[in-house]
Amino acid sequence: MQTETLLLGQTLRFTQDPFIDTPTNAIRHEAQGAVLIRGDTIAEVGKACDLIPRARHANMIRYPDGLILPGFVDAHAHYPQTAIIASWGKRLIDWLNDYTFPEETRFNDPAYAGTIADRYLDLVTAHGTTSVASFCTSHPASVEALFQAAASRDMALVAGKTCMDRNAPYALLDTAQSAYDDSKSLLTRWHGNGRARYAITPRFSPTSTPDQLQALGALWGEHPDCLMQTHISEQQEECAWIADLFPKARDYLDTYEAAGLIGPNALWGHAIWLTDRERARIRETGGTLVHCPTSNTFIGSGLFNVAARRAEGLPLALATDTGGGSSFSMLRTMAAAYEIGQLTGTALHPAQLLWLATEAGAHALNLHPEIGTLEPGTKADLTILDLASTPVIAQRANQAEDIWQALFPTIMMGDDRAIAATWIAGQQQP
Split at pLDDT 50, 70, 90, the class of 161 is very high
Threshold 0.75, pTM exceeds: yes
Q: What is the DSSP string of 239-287?
A: HHHHHHH-TT-SSHHHHHHTTT--STTEEEEE-TT--HHHHHHHHHH--
- Order of strands, sheet of 427-428, starting from the edge strand that comes earlier in the sequence: 41-47, 27-38, 4-14, 59-70, 382-386, 419-424, 427-428
Strand partners of residue 13 = 28
Range 4-71+373-428 has CATH code 2.30.40.10: yes
Mean pLDDT for the stretch of residues 370-378: 98
pLDDT at 95: 87
pLDDT band at 24; cut points 50, 70, 90: confident
Mean pLDDT of 261-267: 97
For residue 92, the model assigns a pLDDT of: 86
Is the confidence at residue 138, as pLDDT, over 80? yes
Position 108 confidence tier, pLDDT thresholds 50, 70, 90: very high
Looking at domain 74-364, which CATH architecture does it have? Alpha-Beta Barrel (3.20)
Is residue 1 scored above 80 in pLDDT? Answer: no
| pLDDT for residue 71 is more than 80 | yes
Whole-number Å distance between alpha carbons of 176 and 246: 17
| pLDDT, tens digit (0-9, with 9 covering 90-100), for 329-349 | 999 999 999 999 999 999 999
Instruction: Give me the mean pLDDT over the 354-362 stretch.
Output: 98
pLDDT at 89: 81
- What letters, b where the CB count within 10 A reaches 16 and e where it falls short, cover 193-222? eebbbbbbbbbbbbbbbbebbbbbbebbee
In degrees rounded to 5, what are phi and psi of residue 317? -140, 175
Determine the residue type at 150: A
- What is the pLDDT at residue 366? 97
Segment 189-247, tens digit of pLDDT:
999 999 999 999 999 999 999 999 999 999 999 999 999 999 999 999 999 999 999 99
40-62: average pLDDT: 96
Mean per-residue pLDDT over the chain, rounded: 97
Rounded average pLDDT over 343-359:
97
**Sequence ranges of the domains in the chain:** 4-71+373-428, 74-364
Give dist(CA 348, CA 306) in Å, integer: 9
Looking at residues 344-361, what average pLDDT do you find? 97
